[in-house]
Amino acid sequence: ASTEENLRRAPNDPDRIFDHAQSVFYLGALASARGDTAAMEAGNLEYFRLAERLVATAPDDQRSQLELAFAHSNLGATKFERRLYAEAIPDFEKSVELRRALVEKHPQDNKLAKAYAYALSWLGYAELWTGQNARAVEIYSRQLGVYERLLADGDDYEIFDAQISAQRRLSTALLNLGRVADARSVISFSLSSILSG
């Protein structure tokens, strides 16, 4: 209520738009945890509207672009949870594109690279569920390329864990395409990484 009132008093202030968007996001997350799907979906839509408003107010700000990327990802995840996999893909694609553009502008920002890889994981998973296995292979290969670069800077358990998940899904897509030897190679590499880690 306080962030809503602050925004009402200064409707074009990017900080107040951002602050209220965070309130809306976390209320939606609480609704999701309670299993209140309707409230969660309403929250995600409002969060998306606020992200668009933030971009309109501060279009060149990295924070604005990230918020819009997160909002698209949330909309996609909502559709994915309802098993509307094909409908989720455009939102995931938009999230990927927004994050990719930020990574290109800030190639040394590992936090942005992780966010980009995370968006790729959602898109790849949706493609996998719609039977677009060749597309999933391409997406997971891109995701793993990001992790390879990040791990070159040093060990990071969070990235390592995400890498294992991406390798497992990549091997599934390869297996679905009948590329058994390739699938075996990927999963064998994943297992050896786990054992050596």
Give the whole-angstrom CA distance, residue 8 versus residue 26. 19
pLDDT band at 94 (very low <50, low <70, confident <90, very high): very high
User: pTM for the whole thing?
Assistant: 0.90
In the predicted model, is pLDDT for residue 80 greater than 90? yes
Give the whole-angstrom CA distance, residue 124 versus residue 121. 5
pLDDT band at 155 (very low <50, low <70, confident <90, very high): confident
Q: 131: alpha, beta or left, given left = phi > 0 and alpha = psi -120 to 50?
A: left
pLDDT band at 188 (very low <50, low <70, confident <90, very high): confident
Q: What is the pLDDT of residue 152?
A: 87
- Is-contact 28 37, C-beta < 8 A? no
Give the whole-angstrom CA distance, residue 70 versus residue 4. 20
User: Angle 157-176/110-129 helices, nearest 10 degrees?
Assistant: 30
Q: What is the pLDDT of residue 196?
A: 56
Residue listed under structure tokens 């070159």: 152
Secondary element (H or E) of residue 21: helix 14-34
**CA triple 133-134-137, angle to 5 deg:** 85
Give the whole-angstrom CA distance, residue 171 versus residue 191. 12
Mean pLDDT, the chain, rounded, equals: 93
Task: Take residue 89 and report the two structure tokens written for it.
Answer: 């893909």
Q: What is the pLDDT of residue 157?
A: 86
pLDDT in tens, 5-42: 999 999 999 999 999 999 999 999 999 899 888 898 99
Q: Output b/e per residue, 61-89; b: 16+ Cβ within 10 A.
A: eeebbbbbbbbbbbbbbbbbeeeebebbb
In the predicted model, is pLDDT for residue 148 greater than 60? yes
